């Protein structure tokens, strides 16, 4: 019997995502000027106020207020009527030094023996149902909001758009887990205030269905485009007007959108958030590493779908387990347990090895904090940062290295594919 599966996404202007982006901007600035920085920054945003808290061990000094305001400005909170505006909001910092009790378990004389920054389990997932090996419902949800943001910032059409938005996509699957059609799409977008609510809501629905969705479809493969039938049910701003939004409408906190950040509910999640954490925190680095493993496994043809789990003890170098579940889609005649043994030999999962392999001690995290940490396109780009003393540093970085298919040949060789 066919079944329905749903994933959601939220825009960069969603209050929780505003918090994530500020936290990751701080991580980037600390790492840019001191690559060995240990950072755990939490952000709270509400009406006219930003609160920064957390633990940091770094040799650099930052103007955290300016960093926070720059992020808010880039997102688009630049008008006083939003009740949360880059230049006028208060920014309160309660960041203090990291506990030496934690740090002693992480730092070692030999970097290769660096212990995990915390205990916990992390999951990576990949599927061949999309070109970027991501679950389809989540991929489309992200693309809808990216297109909304592009149109809003361009400012030529749909000029009523404000930064806060959410999307949700429900897909009908067959018994053999193949997507058959898109069942429904939900989009809620913040907008300017208007005199005639009913007329404006009708216009917003028309614009989403006739402008945004066709643009999103054009970015997809012909096979995926065919899933957009005339039977798709659209729920556009289903509660009615959405003028009050962003941090004024809801308080935002770092780390509250972990399913949006990963696989939209497919696979599994260990519970640890990413944003605001330097790569010594395995919540972040090992989640990227397991995605790297999963994506290369599927791309190599080892399986059509896979879940990878790894776990750590705080201060301990080697992981406590590596688990593989191919959901019965494996193309080799050995058990998932035996596959896990071979994968463990291919990918060094010690924390420092992950940092080195994926080049994680570089300021690459701001981009991850909206529209998903997984399924993005790796790029080499030049970035620039300014510290609290006005010193500017420009550097070349590689983003989304965990999305690279650089281990496909190694996986094929190990399994004789």
Q: Which residues lie across from 235 on neighbouring strands? A: 186
What was the pLDDT predicted at 46? Answer: 98
- Token digits of residue 172: 């009908």
What was the pLDDT predicted at 113? Answer: 72
What was the pLDDT predicted at 197? Answer: 86
Query: Which residues does the annotation place in the binding site for Mg(2+)?
Result: 16
Query: Which of 136, 133, 112 lies closest to 124, judged by CA?
Result: 133
Query: Which residues does the annotation place in the binding site?
Result: 14, 16, 42, 55, 98, 164-166, 241-242, 250, 256-257, 273, 277, 281
Pairing of the two strands 252-253 and 38-46: antiparallel
What was the pLDDT predicted at 110? Answer: 63
Assigned architecture for domain 120-127+263-415: 2-Layer Sandwich (3.30)
Whether the domain at 3-9+135-244 and the domain at 120-127+263-415 fall into the same CATH topology: yes
SS3 6: strand
Contact 21, 366 (CB under 8 A): yes
Q: Would you identify the CATH topology of the domain 16-107?
A: GMP Synthetase; Chain A, domain 3 (3.30.300)
- Token digits of residue 319: 């992981």
Query: Which residues does the annotation place in the binding site for L-methionine?
Result: 55, 98, 250, 281
Query: Which residues does the annotation place in the binding site for ATP?
Result: 14, 164-166, 241-242, 250, 256-257, 273, 277
DSSP category for residue 178: -
Q: Would you identify the CATH topology of the domain 3-9+135-244?
A: GMP Synthetase; Chain A, domain 3 (3.30.300)
pLDDT tens for the chain, 417 residues: list them.
Answer: 799 999 999 999 999 999 999 999 999 999 999 999 999 999 999 999 999 999 999 999 999 999 999 999 999 999 999 999 999 999 999 999 876 655 555 655 566 678 887 899 999 999 999 999 999 999 999 999 999 999 999 999 999 999 999 999 999 999 999 999 999 999 999 999 998 889 999 999 999 999 999 999 999 999 999 999 999 999 999 999 999 999 999 999 999 999 999 999 999 999 999 999 999 999 999 999 999 999 999 999 999 999 999 999 999 999 999 999 999 999 999 999 999 999 999 999 999 999 999 999 999 999 999 999 999 999 999 999 999 999 999 999 999 999 999 999 999 999 999
Query: Which of 219, 353, 224 lies closest to 280, judged by CA?
Result: 353
Q: What is the pTM of this model?
A: 0.96
The full length of the chain comes to: 417
The secondary element (H helix, E strand) that includes residue 213 is helix 213-217
CA distance readout (Å), 250 to 16, 18, 164, 208, 253: 9, 11, 10, 24, 10
What was the pLDDT predicted at 233? Answer: 98
Pairing of the two strands 3-10 and 161-173: antiparallel
Query: Which residues does the annotation place in the binding site for K(+)?
Result: 42
The secondary element (H helix, E strand) that includes residue 276 is none
DSSP category for residue 211: I
Locate the domains of the chain by residue range: 3-9+135-244, 16-107, 120-127+263-415
């Amino acid at each position: 019997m066919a079944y329905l599966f749903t994933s959601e996404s939220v825009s960069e202007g969603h209050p929780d995502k505003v918090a994530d982006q500020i936290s990751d901007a701080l991580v980037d600035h600390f790492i840019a000027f001191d690559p060995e920085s240990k950072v755990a920054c939490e952000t709270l945003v509400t009406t006219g106020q930003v609160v920064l808290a957390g633990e940091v061990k770094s040799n650099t000094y930052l103007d955290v207020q300016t960093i926070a305001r720059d992020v808010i400005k880039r997102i688009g909170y630049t008008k006083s009527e939003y009740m949360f505006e880059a230049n006028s909001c208060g920014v309160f910092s309660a960041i203090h030094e990291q506990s030496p009790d934690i740090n002693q378990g992480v730092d070692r004389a030999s970097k290769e023996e660096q212990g995990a920054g915390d205990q916990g389990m992390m999951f990576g997932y990949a599927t061949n149902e999309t070109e970027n090996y991501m679950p389809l419902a989540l991929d489309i949800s992200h693309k809808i909001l990216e297109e909304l943001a592009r149109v809003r910032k361009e400012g030529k059409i749909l000029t009523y758009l404000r930064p806060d938005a959410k999307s949700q996509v429900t897909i009908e699957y067959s018994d053999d887990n193949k997507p058959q059609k898109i069942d429904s799409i939900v989009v809620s977008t913040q907008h300017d205030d208007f005199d005639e609510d009913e007329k404006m809501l009708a216009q917003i629905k028309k614009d989403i269905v006739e402008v945004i969705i066709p643009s999103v479809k054009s970015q997809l493969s012909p096979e995926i485009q065919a899933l957009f039938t005339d039977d798709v049910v659209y729920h556009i701003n289903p509660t009615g007007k959405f003028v009050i939004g962003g941090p004024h409408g809801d308080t935002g906190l770092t780390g509250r959108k972990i399913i949006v950040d990963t696989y939209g509910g497919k696979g599994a999640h260990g519970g640890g958030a990413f944003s605001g954490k330097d790569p010594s925190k395995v919540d972040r680095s090992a989640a990227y590493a397991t995605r790297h493993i999963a994506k290369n496994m599927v791309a190599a043809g080892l399986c059509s779908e896979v879940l990878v789990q790894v776990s750590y003890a705080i201060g301990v170098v080697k992981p406590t387990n590596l688990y593989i579940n191919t959901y019965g889609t494996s193309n080799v005649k050995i058990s998932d347990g035996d596959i896990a043994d071979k994968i463990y030999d291919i990918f060094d999962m010690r924390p420092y090895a992950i940092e080195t392999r994926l080049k994680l001690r570089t300021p690459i995290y701001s981009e991850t904090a909206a529209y998903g940490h997984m399924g993005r396109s790796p790029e080499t780009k030049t970035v620039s940062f300014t510290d609290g003393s006005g010193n500017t540093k420009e550097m070349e970085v590689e983003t989304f290295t965990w999305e690279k298919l650089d281990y496909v040949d190694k996986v094929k060789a190990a399994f004789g594919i």
